[in-house]
Amino acid sequence: MDQLLGMAFDVFRAAGNGIESIAQAGDRGIIAHTIDYISRRSDLILELMLEHLWLVVLTLIIAVTISVTVGIIISYYESFAQTVLGICQVLMVIPSMAMLAFMVPLFGIGFTTGVVALVLYSLLPVVRNTYTGIRELDPAIVEAAKGMGMTERRILFKIKIPLARPVIMAGVRTAAVMMIGIAAIAAYVGAGGLGELIFSGISRGHQPMIIAGAIGVSIIAIAFDYLFYYGEKRFSVEGSTREGN
Amino acid sequence: MIKLEGLTKVFKGHNIPAVKDLNLEVNEGDVCVLVGPSGCGKTTTMKMINRLYEPTGGKIYIRDEDVLQMDPIKLRLDIGYVIQEIGLFPHMTIYENIATVPNEKQWPKDQVKEKVDNVMSLVGLDPDVFKNRYPSALSGGQRQRVGVARAMVSDPSIMLMDEPFGAVDPITRARLQNEFLRIQERMDKTIVFVTHDIDEAIKMSDTIAVMKEGQLVQHATPSDLLSAPADEFVSNLVGRNRSIKRLHLIRISEILEDVDRAPAIKDDTKEEEVKKRLDESDLRTVIVVDRDNKLKGVVGVNDLKRKTGEVAGDYYQEVSDTVTDDATLNDALSVMLEIGEGYVAVVNEDEKYQGTITLGDLLNVVREES
């Protein structure tokens, strides 16, 4: 017990030292430095944020289009599904640095490489959620639709996709937030965005730069998460008009 | 109307056929109930008629047309389909749910609206109240009604129903059954109805097809099935208390006119007159109705002693339950047992008093029939 307390104490002391050393980084403290940096270079930061946003939005559109299509297709071919989901799983566990490095010989250095790598990363959550969202629908609903004479196409667009939409959107939300983080690393292969700020901050030992980049990434991530949360509430028609009995 | 010839279905990976060499004919306007234990192939048989399952062998004809040569989508659009789980679309309103088939058939909008309103009223759901609700806001019984309405909206001449009243409590179930029979009397559809409940089969059917291990054991009218079961399996299925089951076959309205019982009294009848009528009554009670012949309650001998007043309206007690005249004698019996009385008051749809049925009346019917 004493040993445990001692260990806890060590951890606290180490954390305290860390904060102190950050605070001692300059005469006026790191926070003031950062605010100063942000106000001086607000043009650059805003430009990089927009670049970052563009990278994420473009990737998201491509990734969701591919993933939803793949998810729908594998929901019809059960034997195929596990293989496809397995591949997506493997893609996702590759460390992001390694994935970006793999892409460079194929697509060179630049924006395209970043987009391709990010698309490959974000396949799994959306493919998997589309697939399970459709597979786990109440079979009675699908049977009733079929028995009444709806074509497979109509069942897909009028019944399956609308009912699976909340699950699909949850996947998109996961993918988006994940992608915003990884997009920062994509600056490593010249894809641009807030990652540039972070990487050059690291190489120059310029802490306010790193923090400014991190804040920018966080703002985008929180904004996206809120946007999806709000969208989910707004579009769940059943929720807004449902009456009690 | 519907003819099955040597129908066989073997599912992939199974050696034993689910349905084997089944021959069955259903006449136009008849309700044919497929009944049997679970796994006997009754649902499989039904699903082959609208080709949700493709038969392995045999033929299906509807109006002498070979079903297996028809476009399955077209075929299904013209056959009403109700399943036990109902399968309402949770993201659509009741209106949109019921309008599914008309929309698939691309009917003009105002025609769809008119038909949906009609069919909702027919199954006892007020369109103005329920139209814009979602299935989650409905009770089990109301959902079953929507399921039936959705199947009937385009007026198909054939309906397939797989335990359509299976998922509700017994009282709601009896009510839905009676309502459905009332609708069917007017609509005269050809119906294939699947159930594992022999009582329901006897009540709903014109003919009963008993199935066992994928084969047809007996196809007969309910009355014939009760009096002449083909083999031990059928007689076990209908059970030992066949005379009670016969009570399913007779509606209250059929015996009500033969029952000779003193009429009800109005609620403004004077006390003297009430006393006189009580003495004459074989039940020691009299039914009290209002001026519009609506049931108010019942007056017994004790009520006169316990309370004071001048007219029948001062004395009556409300009755705990009634039956409608389109219910079966079996329904009447279960209400009597439930309220613990030897009689039950019969009312019509508008709650107007129609007469009283006693245990003795039921006994007489059973005696006559057997």
Structure tokens at A115: 């987009």
- Nearest-by-Cβ selection for A144 from B74, B77, B87: B87
What is the model's pLDDT at position B302?
Answer: 79
The verdict on residue A154 lying in a domain is: yes
Set of chain B residues whose Cβ sits within 8 Å of the Cβ of A140: 83, 85-87
Please enumerate in sequence order all residues whose Cβ is within 8 A of that of A13, keeping only pairs 6 or more positions apart, or say none: none
The verdict on residue A10 lying in a domain is: no
Set of chain B residues whose Cβ sits within 8 Å of the Cβ of A244: 137
- 0.90 surpassed by complex ipTM: no
Cα gap B250→B291, rounded to integer Å: 31
Residue A179 has pLDDT above 80, yes or no: yes
Residue A18 has pLDDT above 90, yes or no: no
Residue B242 has pLDDT above 90, yes or no: no
Beta strand ranges found along B199-251 (DSSP E): 207-212, 215-220
Q: Number of residue pairs across A and B with CB atoms under 8 Å?
A: 76
Mean pLDDT score across all residues of chain B: 88
The verdict on residue A245 lying in a domain is: no
B2-249 matches B253-369 in fold: no
What is the model's pLDDT at position A159?
Answer: 94
Set of chain B residues whose Cβ sits within 8 Å of the Cβ of A147: 50, 52, 76, 81, 83, 160
Set of chain A residues whose Cβ sits within 8 Å of the Cβ of B133: 243
**pLDDT-above-90 percentage for chain B:** 46
The verdict on residue A26 lying in a domain is: no
What is the model's pLDDT at position A24?
Answer: 55
What is the model's pLDDT at position B286?
Answer: 84
Mutate to test the interface with B, among A148, A157, A158, A236 (most CBs of B within 10 A): A148
Residue A245's closest chain B neighbor by CA? Answer: B137
Pairing of strands B323-324, B207-212: unpaired
Number of domains in chain A: 1
Mutate to test the interface with A, among B71, B85, B139 (most CBs of A within 10 A): B85
Q: How many CB atoms lie within 10 A of CB B280?
A: 9
What is the model's pLDDT at position B11?
Answer: 93
Residue A240's closest chain B neighbor by CA? Answer: B134
pLDDT in tens, B80-126: 999 988 899 999 999 999 999 999 999 999 999 999 999 999 888 99
**Interval A176-190 mean pLDDT:** 88
Distance between A243 CA and the closest CA of chain B, angstroms = 6
pLDDT in tens, A58-89: 999 999 999 999 999 999 998 889 999 999 99
Set of chain B residues whose Cβ sits within 8 Å of the Cβ of A163: 89-91
Residue A152's closest chain B neighbor by CA? Answer: B73
Domain layout of chain B by residue ranges: 2-249, 253-369
Angular region, B189: left φ>0, alpha ψ -120 to 50, beta rest: beta
The verdict on residue A25 lying in a domain is: no
Cα gap B350→B319, rounded to integer Å: 16
**Interval B64-76 mean pLDDT:** 93
Residue B261 has pLDDT above 60, yes or no: yes
- Asked if A151's CB is within 8 angstroms of B81's CB, the reply is no
What is the model's pLDDT at position A245?
Answer: 32
pLDDT in tens, B271-287: 888 888 888 777 778 88
**Interval B24-38 mean pLDDT:** 93
The verdict on residue A24 lying in a domain is: no
CATH number (domain holding residue A71)? 1.10.3720.10
pLDDT in tens, B315-331: 888 888 888 888 888 88
Sign of the four-CA dihedral A161, A165, A170, A173:
positive
Contact indicator for B25, B3 with CB cutoff of 8 Å: yes
Domain that holds residue A175: 31-235
What is the model's pLDDT at position A242?
Answer: 39
pLDDT in tens, A103-121: 888 888 888 898 999 999 8
Residue B38 has pLDDT above 80, yes or no: yes
- Nearest-by-Cβ selection for B73 from A143, A151, A162: A151
**pLDDT-above-90 percentage for chain A:** 44
Set of chain A residues whose Cβ sits within 8 Å of the Cβ of B90: 141, 163, 238
The partner residues of B297 in beta bridges, in order of sequence, read B288
What is the model's pLDDT at position A239?
Answer: 42
Please enumerate in sequence order all residues whose Cβ is within 8 A of that of A125, keeping only pairs 6 or more positions apart, or say none: A171, A172, A174, A175, A178
Q: Which amino acid is at A193?
A: G
CATH code, residues B2-249:
3.40.50.300
Cα gap B320→B295, rounded to integer Å: 12
Cα gap A123→A128, rounded to integer Å: 8
**Interval B183-204 mean pLDDT:** 91
CATH ID of B253-369, from 3.30.470.20, 3.10.580.10, 3.90.870.10, 3.90.79.10: 3.10.580.10
What is the model's pLDDT at position A148?
Answer: 94
What is the model's pLDDT at position A243?
Answer: 37
What is the model's pLDDT at position B262?
Answer: 72
Q: How many CB atoms lie within 10 A of CB A120?
A: 20
Residue A235's closest chain B neighbor by CA? Answer: B91
Cα gap B236→B252, rounded to integer Å: 27
- Nearest-by-Cβ selection for A162 from B76, B91, B132: B91
The verdict on residue A79 lying in a domain is: yes
**pLDDT-above-70 percentage for chain A:** 84
The verdict on residue A73 lying in a domain is: yes
- Asked if A143's CB is within 8 angstroms of B74's CB, the reply is no
Structure tokens at A210: 């790193």
Lowest-confidence segment of A206-210, A232-236, B147-151, B207-211 by average pLDDT: A232-236
Distance between B220 CA and the closest CA of chain A, angstroms = 28
What is the model's pLDDT at position B369?
Answer: 64
Distance between B83 CA and the closest CA of chain A, angstroms = 7
In order, the DSSP letters of B272-309 are HHHHHHHHH-TTSEEEEE-TT-BEEEEEEHHHHHHS--
**Interval B195-205 mean pLDDT:** 90
